[in-house]
Amino acid sequence: MLFICSLMSAQNAKLTVTVSGLKNSTGIVKVGLYNSEGTFLQTVYKSLSSEIKNNEAEVTFTNLPAGEYAISTYHDENNNGKLDKNMMGIPSEDYAASNNAKGFMGPPAYKDAKFVIDKDSKIEIKL
């Protein structure tokens, strides 16, 4: 029984995400975890939010199967649950992606933001 439990725990990982570089501590930080290119920035696999302390936020995703993932995060300054955009559709709240991936004239691509999880991991994303 102990052997089965240790096998099960070895298959799932924990991912701690630190979001730094926030310009203030107003609102919350939302973090979306995606598990495929087809769902990136469309359908979140898991999402968490965190209060901001000292211009930094941290969330921990648990029970993640080994695999490829990408993260999108934003500073929800007015805490309305969405990434606010201006009249032209350009985000008016700070946002970022894993690997600090940047898009050209749009959001970052999955191929630039993806990373592999096969054990407990920590990553930092700078806004």
Domains located in the chain, CATH noted: 2-126 (2.60.40.10)
Question: Which long-range contacts (C-beta less than 8 Å, at least 24 apart) are formed by 81-85?
Answer: 81/30, 83/30
Cα separation, 42 vs 62, whole angstroms: 21
Candidates 51, 48, 55; CA nearest to 17 is: 48
Candidates 99, 95, 122; CA nearest to 21 is: 95
Q: What Cα–Cα distance (Å) separates residue 25 from each residue in 16, 21, 30, 50, 76?
A: 20, 11, 13, 11, 10
Please give the chain's pLDDT, 127 residues, in tens: 444 444 444 579 999 999 999 999 999 999 999 999 999 999 999 999 999 999 999 999 999 999 999 999 999 999 999 999 999 988 999 999 999 999 888 899 999 999 999 999 999 999 9
